[in-house]
Structure 1
Amino acid sequence: MVGIWKKFLHEITGHALFSISLTAAVVTSFFNIPRWGYIDVKVLVCLFELMLIVKALEEYGLLGHVAVKIVNCCKNERRLTAALCVITFLLSMFTTNDVAVLTIVPILVAISRTCGLSVTFPCVLTTIAANLGSSATPIGNPQNLYIFSFYKMSPVSFFRESVPLCLVSLLLLMASTLFIRPKKIRAELSIAPVTEKKRVAAFLLLSVPVIVGIFGLIPYAITFVFVLLAAIIINRSMLRKLDYRLLLTFLLLFVAVGNISHIPVLKEQIAALETTPLKTYVSALFLSQIISNVPSTVMLAPFTVYAYALFYGANIGGLGTPIASLASVIAFSLFYQVFPHKKLQFIGTFLLCNVIMLFVLSVVFASVLVQV
């Protein structure tokens, strides 16, 4: 009984974002009775579908196979880091920043063990690449999916905001790699084969109705039934491997935000922070540093009409502190497992790079908002 209780507590407290959302939902429910209407079912369904597709591509080795193949073409540390940043940047657009980090950081660690590559700075840069690259598409990260759904944005209006941020971010990342010496690399990673190629092809085809459903061209209820039945036929065991805690986290966040929006004092306080694009932007930037950018997005969206300001604030706000984005927490965990003696070095490098990048991007896009 004691062992079960300890495991239960570990599951609750071992995931920062889940702990925050659970606490917020429970506390706010004392002041307001939750309602089913608070829950954005479309976001939960679309998130489930994306998680399923990405998990399949990850499990069958497609993501790692492609990444290693590209990395083996690099002959020095600077080119390698630049290649990893670009791969991570592009990968995160379609598989989320978390999956990009989970795919690339282990490859980086393997290279470090093989040829003695100094791994700290490249690991930090690839983490930043994951957080910024994911801002490019509605499916790149959970907060974009929520913003796209909540404000009923068209693809054109979304990409009009995301492309400038994407281009400036990539330029800054490539400039950052110039600080790495072009030291030669004499090592090559073995390329693991892609398993179950027919199933990989099936899941890739399955991603088409998922993306079409996210853009609202097909009702999400229809795509959900289709994807679920297809997954059961192709490989039902994949359904057991999904991180359902993430879905529960979102559900709890919807409950907490719904409660807050019906508590007059809190509603007035938050609404006062969202009266202009710049205030919305700064609120998202600041709040992301404390509770991460996903819950801050869900919390602020009902109180502001400035979708573009919230988009910039939440995505740029993923930089800064390690808890500003879940992908950063994952990167640190992966790094610490292999290099525990370099923990302080990683944190110092992470904060320095993130603060500089956060400052530059926040100033650039604050000036854009002022001119609007």
Structure 2
Amino acid sequence: MSVIVRVLRDLKRDRFFLVLLAGLAGFAIYQPARIPSFGALIDWPTISALAGLLLLTKGLEVSGALHALGRRLVESMATERAAALFLVSTAALLSTALTNDVALFVVVPLTIGVCRLTGMPLTKTVVFEALAVNVGSALTPIGNPQNIFLWQLADVPFGDFIWHQLPLVASLMVALLALTAFAFRARSFDVIEHEVSTLDRRLLGVCLALYVPFLVATDMHHAGVATAAVLLLFLVLRPRVVAELDWGLLLVFALMFIDLRLLAGLDAVSALMLKLGLQKPANLYWVGIGVSQLVSNVPATIALAEFSRDWRVIAYSVNVGGFGWMVGSLANLIALRMTGDRNAWKTFHLYAIPALAVAAGIGYVLLFLLPRS
């Protein structure tokens, strides 16, 4: 019961959740006949995969392994700037193969441990990691859900997709690393020990043993079964992991799926899309960025594909659209939620909105002013 009380208390203070809840209420009033079908709008495999990843990363955190790894990282880095550059680069690199969401589940818990040890600004560091996974994941067909969809739609070789995305990702990565070096100080670390952390080797072993099988099962479309197995195992071995999980994040994502899909399905929205001249590549590019800001880049990709098959322009636009407003990419919401800072959205937008302007300009130049054969 205490877990339920904690979750409800946290949700009452979560402004984004309250906005989503208000949106759901509005749709329920506007389209009461659709209320019974609201549950079908939720992407349950995604929710299941998210729950399983949250459980596994929470298990790693509770085991104390990330605290120990963070200490080793701190001991090998000379300055706060060096650590920030390492964490941002690692997040970007992992996202090219593990997808942007999974990369965050690996890097953010480690970052939390590093920041506790050193006093580094946690929220700012995680914000830069969110930007990094948006950049890195844009490179490969498997880096994020929208790329997977476009890769299948375009039916192009793996290498061709990467070659098309490489100029954008390389340019954005250089800009991001330069911004990271500017935003973090070149001060030496002062290790701050808040508490003595002991290593739960059994819990660590269980988490590591489950991680790859869970990802394989999820990739084979068995996320629900895999998550149920992980949940049951933790309930038996370490109930604390289940009790400390951020269950509110799962509810936020469920509401997002309902609200955004209802919004995208409105006749007025569909009519507007038809009037935007998406047959013109430049229009398609800017509309893709704009729609991503409203409904996130995955639904935006699916919607744009109904009006155009120009996967090259769509790929640039929706990946650029992951910056800016926090809804632009679901990875942004995961990162902000994992900080535990209710005002993290302010820090995020301080950097992400200018990043959107820069990324949009770079993407436009590469697509339309420096065309490649």
TM-score normalised to the size of structure 1? Answer: 0.68
Report which stretch shifted further, 100-109 or 56-65. Answer: 100-109
> Measured at CA, do residues 213 and 309 of structure 1 come closer, stay the same or move farther in structure 2, by a change above 3 Å?
farther
Identify if the C-alpha distance between structure 1 residues 204 and 332 changes in structure 2 by more than 3 Å, giving closer, same or farther. Answer: closer
What secondary structure sits across from 2:34 in the alignment?
A: coil
The share of aligned pairs that are identical, in percent, is 17
**Which residue does 1:21 correspond to in 2?**
20
2 CA distance for matches of 1:369 and 1:249?
41
Partner of 2:64: 61
1:360 CA displacement: 5.5
CA contact (8 A) 1:282 1:313 kept: yes
1:25–1:252 Cα contact (<8 Å) kept: yes
Aligned residues: 345
Cα shift at 1:75: 2.3
Q: Which residue of 2 aligns with 1:132?
A: 132
* 1:233, distance to aligned residue in structure 2 (A): 3.6
Residue of structure 1 in register with 2:296 after alignment: 296
Instruction: Report the counterpart of residue 351 of structure 2 in structure 1.
Output: 350
Q: Name the CA shift for 1:133/1:186 in 2 (closer, same or farther; >3 Å).
A: closer
CA shift at 1:33, angstroms? 1.0
**How big is each residue's C-alpha offset from its partner over 1:20-63, in whole Å with a ceiling of 9 and x where there is no partner?**
43233332332351425433222222122112112211222333
Supply the distance in 1 between the matched residues of 2:277 and 2:48 (Cα, whole angstroms): 28
Please tell me whether residue 171 in structure 1 is matched to residue 174 in structure 2: yes
Over residues 178-207 of structure 1, what are the superposed CA-to-partner deviations in whole Å (9 max), with x where a residue is unaligned?
547995626446696562122212112212
Alignment-mate amino acid for residue 42 of structure 2: I
* Equivalent in the alignment of 1:319: 323
- Structure 1 position 44 matched with structure 2 position 51: no
Report deviation, 1:270.
Answer: 3.9
SS in 2 for 1:242: coil
Q: Closer, same or farther in 2 for the Cα pair 1:233/1:188, shift >3 Å?
A: same
Is 2:78 aligned against 1:75? yes
RMSD: 4.9
Letter in 1 for 2:217: G
Counterpart residue type for residue 350 of structure 1: Y
Structure 1 residues 8 and 135: CA distance shift in structure 2, 3 A:
same
Mark the CA change 1:157 to 1:112 in structure 2 (over 3 Å): closer, same or farther: same
Structure 1 partner of 2:287: 283
Match of 2:244 among 241, 246, 254: 241
Q: SS of the residue aligned with 1:33?
A: helix
> Contact conserved, 2:165 with 2:316, CA < 8 A, in 1?
no
Q: In structure 1, how many angstroms separate the alpha carbons of the residues matched to 2:22 and 2:197? A: 43
Shift of the 11–187 alpha-carbon distance from structure 1 to 2, 3 Å rule, reads closer
What is the CA–CA distance in structure 2 between the aligned matches of 1:313 and 1:158, rounded to whole Å? 20
Is residue 33 of structure 1 aligned with residue 11 of structure 2? no
Residue 174 of structure 1: how far off its partner (Å): 3.2
**SS, match of residue 75 in structure 1:** coil
TM-score where L is the length of structure 2: 0.68
Name which of 114, 137, 142 aligns with 1:107. Answer: 114
Q: Any residues of structure 2 matched to 1:305-344 within 5 Å, and which?
A: 305=305, 312-320=316-324, 325-326=332-333, 329=336, 334=341
- Pick closer, same or farther for the CA change 1:206–1:13 going to 2, 3 Å: same
Change (3 A) 1:212 1:192: farther
